[in-house]
Structure 1
Amino acid sequence: MIGRLRGKVQFISEDQLLVDVHGVGYLVNVPASTASLLADGKEGVLIISTYVREDAIVLYGFATEGEKELFDLLNTVSGVGPKLALSVLSTLSPDSFCQAILEGNLQRLTKIPGIGKRTGERLVVELKDKIAKRYTAIGVSPGISSGVSQTVSEAIEALLALGYSASEAEEAVAHLNLEGTESTESIIRRALGVLVKTGNV
């Protein structure tokens, strides 16, 4: 299974691109949030989610682990497929979407193309507890400001880039007594200290 691709990017359309990896071209579907960070003809790195259908293997690419995790989570909801999941990520950041789910903010959710009131209600019902547990797991209260959750997400992504697994990064951050004014750099530094103490070096 493909987990990550690094190669020269060629845009086929606004939501599909070709990644040339040592002469092999991979067609990858991406949300607008990821496409905006890539340049045609330049090298790019994508975190990949692979979906196997009867007639094809389809790749979906993301700029961050958080986007991929939300994409995979959305696809567990009845009636939500990859196309709608990409629409969510093209409209809202993972933090903004999670906050809308936790607040049951249907007005915000129904602004996403493809999501009506009924689908929005189903998303809240099926995802609220799962998202609340994830916020708790990384040491962030669902009621805090999105700014704090953003710094936590950035810190976890930095730890992933350093080679730690998602579970190692999240557990390290969960050990920290985070304050609202703490910077991403401070969280990374303290989390690395936890990882060193626990032998994850």
Structure 2
Amino acid sequence: MRVLVIEDDDDLRVAITASLRAAGFAVDAVADLPPADEALAVNSYDCTVFDRMLPSGDALHYVRARRPAVPVLFLTARDSVADRIAGLEHGDDYLVKPFAVAELVARVRSLCRRVATGRPPVLRCGDLEIDSARHEVRRAGVLITLTAKEFVVLEQLVAQQGRPATRAELIEVAWDRMADPASNVLDVLITQLRRKLGKPPMVHTERGVGYRIEPA
């Protein structure tokens, strides 16, 4: 999957690029809107990551006017409710600085996967609802706080409800390709996820395969 990063802070641009590449993405990185415009015109991307305030102006206005045909994730230090709403109205996700790079990688992976699978922005399973754009999970209307990896694994389980997700599939979506499928990191995460989702349980073990989710 190929990602375009537009960030004028040199150190942050390098850090984001390195982290995404380590997670298995092909990454092009530029520092302002004109080279981003050129890159979008000649290349195909699965996701774009825009710093909002760039030397050429607010990237929100650029996206509003030209709306790339791929998901847009905004990065910004502007964290007012109005700014968040504007970012979600004109982009697909919004992450406030400072942020954990691991969370950024998880959100980019989620956006890329949605394009590849035609996945709807809101997924449901019984009384469970996952809003991918807002990165929110609710059960029976109650907001549940998940880590980035918990969110990605739950999203994958709900997206393919009706059939079990293999361990390899879940590890691939939440960890980089260097992760060891034989390790217990997934089992630990599933245990935490079950605890946070509460009762009655929704996530079930498929012995010898992986896990599946069903409406409670």
TM class, shorter-chain normalised? Answer: 0.3 to 0.5
Q: TM-score, normalised by structure 2?
A: 0.34
Higher RCO (CA 8 Å, separation ≥ 6 residues): 2
Give the TM-score normalised by structure 1: 0.36
Judging by fraction of residues, say which structure has more helix: 1
Q: Judging by fraction of residues, say which structure has more strand.
A: 2
